[in-house]
Every structure is written in structure tokens, then in C-alpha cells.
Amino acid sequence: MRKTALFALLLAAVLLLAGRSEASVVESAYGPTIYTWSDAVAKAGDIIPDTAVVRLPDGSLTTVPTGTWTPDGDAEAWSPGLAGRLDALLGELVKAGLDPETLRGLEVYALPAYTLSLPGHERDPESPRVAVGVHREGVVVLAGLWVNADRTFLHELGHHLADRVLGTAGYWWPGGTGEKAALRREYLALRGYPQDRPLNGISQAALPWGERAGEWFAEDFAYWAAWRVTGKRPDANSYLAGPGPPDERVLAWFDRTFFGKMR
């Protein structure tokens, strides 16, 4: 009996230490700071959970619509080591040629929810009220418990890099002069983006999600980056925006633009 109690105490101590050893804030060697679970909640502002993960009486975890965040221990059990996985993705991209300067100062908030609710979007029927990822200037926000948070991360990272490298902050895609404008023009032409669609930020944001140039770009980036990190082409069904998965020419453009190859 005493042995069992001692064992239970030791087990509890080990679990507690194991839970603590997974840092919830990771200062990535590649530039960004990655906040997970309650540390991300403290940073993310007005976003609230739409669906969260809860522990049932039998000990299993499941998703439920709720207004409360998943506790840290349950979030870590549902998606173990997410901060480390996201950091490793950044490491693979930098190793392959991505300039770490483009990642400097980026903050990533991986929230303890399965889906997120975005306050203030209720009045706009074209704008989604529920999201698995959100991009703000210099910040990537994720539903960290979403079934494929890694892919969502790559999509939102695509928005961040479009802002940094192509100057598209605020869905801003018009032409102009300079290297960033040239890259925007190149990408839109390569992708055959319809020329009758206005490219200023307000008009772009008013389009349905899958028709925005920035979403085409972010989906292309996620597809390309997943291919470059894993060495395998992602499932075409995972591609969500208007034009369908990128072809060889588009993938080669991403290589040139972000890995500096053949430039």
C-alpha cells in the first residue's frame, strides 16, 4: 500500500516536471518568438475560442463548442510539443535557404482552441467569423489544437512573408515601382490573377476569401513550403483558394524568391 502511494507520488512529480519542461514560450533561434497555450492567450487580445478541447470523465479528450480555453495540460496532451514543431519548421526553411532576416521580430500565438471566434466580424457576411488562423502585421495567430495547425502556420507565415518581401500588408497588391512591386507583378502574372480585379487593400478584403490575391499567395506558399520541408507534394485537396495547386513554374518562382536560387 505504501509502495503504491509512493509510486503514485513519484509518477505525479514526473508528470508535473514533464508538463513544465515543455516551455510554452520558445525564443526561436531563427528570429520569431512562439507563444503557446495560456501564454498565447495573454498576448492575443480580443480573439476568443469557438471550439475547444475538453477532457471527458473517462479521461479521453474531445472537441466541444465553448467560450473557454483548453487548460494547458490538456492542450499539451492533444498537441504535444507544438512550439517545438513550429520552431523546427522554421529551422527547415532557413536551412533550405530562407533568409532569417525575413522572420525577425515575428510573434506566433498558438492558442489553446480547436477553432477561433473573431469578434467584430459578425456584421460582414463575406468575412469568416470562425477561423483556424489569423494574420496581423508581424503576428501569426493560430488555433493551436486544430487538426492541422502546422499547415495553418505555413499559410499564415506566407501572409507574413508576403508583407515583408512583397510589401502586401493590409491585402495591398497594386503595382508601383521598386523591387517589391516587381515581385507582386511577377506573381500575379504567373498565377494569371484576373486583371479586372482591383488590387488595393479595401477592394481585396471585400472579395470572397478564395478570390483574394493574398489568399492565393498564402495557399501557394503553404503548399510550396510543405513540399520543401517534407520532400513530398502535399495532397491537392489540402489547397483551398481559387486557382488550385501551384504548377512547376510557380514553385520555381517561390524557390527563386525565398531561397534565392537562380537569382
Site residues, Zn ion (CB under 5 A) = 215, 218
What would the grid cell of residue 228 be?
520543401
Q: Name the CA radius of gyration of the chain, rounded.
A: 20
6: enclosing H helix or E strand: helix 2-21
Rounded distance between C-alpha atoms, residue 254 and residue 263, angstroms: 11
| Shortest reach from residue 181's CB to Zn ion, in Å | 21
| Shortest reach from residue 222's CB to Zn ion, in Å | 9
**Cβ-based nearer residue to Zn ion, 49 or 158:** 158
| Shortest reach from residue 189's CB to Zn ion, in Å | 21
| Shortest reach from residue 168's CB to Zn ion, in Å | 12
Which single residue brings its beta carbon nearest to Zn ion?
218
What would the grid cell of residue 156 be?
499564415
**Cβ-based nearer residue to Zn ion, 24 or 117:** 117
Look at residues 183, 198, 180, 187 and name the one whose alpha carbon lies nearest to residue 246.
187
| Shortest reach from residue 124's CB to Zn ion, in Å | 15
Rounded distance between C-alpha atoms, residue 242 and residue 219, angstroms: 9
Rounded distance between C-alpha atoms, residue 261 and residue 263, angstroms: 5
**Cβ-based nearer residue to Zn ion, 72 or 220:** 220
> How many CB atoms are located within 10 Å of the residue 193 CB?
19
Instruction: Count the residues in the chain.
Output: 263
Q: Write down the residue that cell numbers 537569382 correspond to.
A: 263
**Cβ-based nearer residue to Zn ion, 150 or 215:** 215
140: β partners: 108, 135
Q: DSSP state, 31?
A: S
| Shortest reach from residue 153's CB to Zn ion, in Å | 12
**Cβ-based nearer residue to Zn ion, 38 or 127:** 127
**Cβ-based nearer residue to Zn ion, 61 or 207:** 207
